Structure 1
Amino acid sequence: MSPAPIVVHCVSLTGGRRVTVKGQILGLARSDAGVVEFLRRVGIEDAEELLDELQWVEWRGGQAHGYDAA
């Protein structure tokens, strides 16, 4: 398990990235705004400020903030 509670997973074959918090799937984000909205819905109000904080968010596979299929 990742030490960061928020994980933005690898880009899917059709684009977008699965977002999980402590192993719970929140949904498929197609942009940073999507990630922020998922996190806001679970009570993380300052999510936009956390996206580049390694202790909070782990970006798996590929470049952080990239959502397009290869």
Structure 2
Amino acid sequence: MSSVPITVHRPSASGGRRATVHRHGREQVLGTAHSDHDLVVFLESAGVTDPDAALDDPQRVEWRDGPAHVFHRRLAPRSGASGPGEELRRE
């Protein structure tokens, strides 16, 4: 388990990232964020001081399995796709 108190988990297939806080020896789900604004609201409700700055502070927030500030999985063309309109797959 991470020593960072806030974790933003990987983007889900349907979009958004689950945010959790490590408190009292356990993980508490704050909610599913679809934007930085959602995360700031969650962090404010959890009592985090200066939640805007916390998003870019690796000692306070860990972004897992995806880049910071990205809330949807990137779509990529399926192997062998010949052009626009071809089916897409999730990476």
User: For this pair of structures, how many residues does the alignment match?
Assistant: 70
* Superposition TM-score, scaled by structure 1 size: 0.94
The aligned counterpart of 1:7 is 7
Higher relative contact order (CA 8 A, sep 6+): 1
Alignment deviations for residues 7-55 of structure 1 (CA, whole Å, 9 cap, x no partner): 0000000010000000100100000100000011111141111111111
Q: Equivalents in 2 of 1:34, 1:27: separation in Å? A: 9
- TM-superposed CA distance for 1:67, in Å, is 0.4
Identical columns (%): 49
Structure 1: gaps (5+ residues): none
> Which structure features the higher share of helix residues?
1
CA distance in 2 between partners of 1:59 and 1:9 (Å): 6
Larger Rg: 2
Provide the C-alpha distance between the structure 2 equivalents of 1:57 and 1:42, rounded to a whole number of angstroms: 13
**1-structure distance, mates of 2:49, 2:3:** 21
Deviation at residue 69 of structure 1 after TM alignment: 2.8
Matches within 5 A, 1:22-37: 22=22, 23-37=27-41
Which consecutive aligned stretches of 4+ in structure 1 deviate over 3 angstroms post-superposition?
A: none
